Amino acid sequence: MELPWEPFLLFALCGVGLFSIGFFGLVVCAHVLRKILALNIMGGGVFLFFISVARRNTHEFADPVPQAMVLTGIVVALGVTAFAVTLARRLYSTTRQTTLSRSEREEGIS
Amino acid sequence: MERVPKGPRSPKKVDSTKKRVMKTILTRANGLRLLVTLSVGAMATILVQTLRSLPREPGGITPQVMGKLDLSGVSHPVTAVLLNFRGYDTWLEIGVLVVAISASLCVQRRTDILWLAIPPAPRRVLTGLVQLLAPLMVLAGGYLLWLGKFAAGGAFQAGVVWGAALVLLWLSGRRGVAALPVTWWWGMVLLGFGLFLAVAALGVLIGWGLLTFPPDVAGQVILILEVGAAVSIAVVAAALVITPHVASRPWMSSASRAMDRLGERNRGAD
């Protein structure tokens, strides 16, 4: 309790930051690949947050149940990302578009 | 942003320039960005406040896990949770991977996970490096799998290393990887899920209960499940990377006649 910021709190705050950055990117970026990347950053933030909060205990390692759940979550995120990229390729090959909006020129970041 | 011209000008012109600048700043996209920034900031503030108000817990659920660790058949708590205490999580995780590769193939309008051999790379550095790395990666994956019993490691780590080895072998134009028949690939994709299903069904029939293992055989059962899960994860991960490339490359038509026939049949159905 000497440090004003305990390590788990610092990492959890990083997790919140990553989640916020990812959320911002998900809403603001129009390009689907950027949206997929933003979703992954959000997911990374959630994983970091979860595993950091699991370290609040006084044992020598983080709570194993959240650790296992995060490991499972990473595999699921991998599958979801791969499927999303396949969908994006399909979208491009069908419509020659890389965004979901009709007026893709209007958006600033693409 | 529009450039604002410098120097003296008439008041009327200043007004129009100002208007133009304001117009560029106050677009819908910028408004959206401002709105999103504010809401993200509010969300982050709430999250941080919640985080700071969390009490420091001495135990969590670690004591429950550590107390039953002797009965789990492995000595690493995370592996015990993954494959024994919450085995159905891992089972469904592999199920998600099977769904992911199936859905990916559906979107590509294909029914196969055949990997065509790409023409052997003329680059000696790549082929030499892969020749050197591939056996090491297989070994490292096996080591990681075995490590899961008592340290950080296990099916997922091993599967990812093996999957990377498969992608490397494919990239370097090794024909051996593509030569396996498609039923083998599907068999490997379904191996992990199938093993979990078999063990779960067996457990119910014998009287262990669903995915509950008696302590004396738990270690062996977990090892079998882990090998199956690692193989499935490796093949699915590699297939998710490779299959979209096979469909879109020009060498596809000349690479394999069998694949062509399959592809023709699929395209005919479009």
Burial code (b: 16+ CB inside 10 Å, e: under 16) for B235-261 equals bbbbbbbbbbebbeeeebeebbeebee
Query: Per the CB < 8 Å rule, is B82 touching A72?
Result: yes
Query: Per the CB < 8 Å rule, is B99 touching A79?
Result: yes
Going by pLDDT thresholds of 50, 70 and 90, the confidence category of residue B250 is very low
Query: Per the CB < 8 Å rule, is B96 touching A75?
Result: yes
pLDDT for B9 beyond 60: no
pLDDT for position B255: 44
Asked if A59 reaches chain B (Cβ–Cβ under 8 Å), the answer is yes
pLDDT for position A1: 46
B60 to chain A, minimum CA–CA distance in Å? 6
Neighbour tally for B100: CB within 10 Å: 24
| Backbone conformation region of residue B149, classed left if phi is above 0, alpha if psi is from -120 to 50, else beta | alpha
Q: Contacts for B150-153 with beta carbons within 8 Å, 24 or more apart?
A: B150/B74, B150/B75, B150/B76, B151/B76, B152/B76, B152/B78, B153/B76, B153/B79
Rounded Cα distance, B7 and B143, in Å: 72
CB B249 within 8 A of CB B120: no
Please state the pTM of the whole predicted model.
0.79
pLDDT for position B40: 92
Burial code (b: 16+ CB inside 10 Å, e: under 16) for B25-44 equals eeeeeeeebeebeeebeeeb
Share of chain B above pLDDT 70, in %: 80
- pLDDT tens digits, one per residue of A13-23: 999 999 999 99
ipTM exceeds 0.85: no
pLDDT for B230 beyond 80: yes
pLDDT for position B117: 62
Asked if A58 reaches chain B (Cβ–Cβ under 8 Å), the answer is yes
Mean pLDDT of chain B: 80
- pLDDT tens digits, one per residue of B168-219: 888 887 777 777 788 888 899 999 999 999 999 998 998 888 888 888 888 8
Query: Per the CB < 8 Å rule, is B48 touching A76?
Result: no
Q: Mention every residue, 6+ apart, whose C-beta is less than 8 A from residue A59.
A: B59, B60, B62
Q: Specify the residue for token string 């199956």.
A: B228
Residue closest to B54 by CA, chosen among A13, A27, A79, A48: A13
Average pLDDT over residues A90-110: 70
- pLDDT tens digits, one per residue of B63-114: 888 888 888 888 888 888 888 888 888 999 999 999 999 999 888 887 777 6
Residue A9 burial class via C-beta count within 10 angstroms: exposed 0-12, middle 13-18, buried 19 and up? buried
Q: Which residues of A touch B240 (CB under 8 A)?
A: 78-79, 82-83, 86
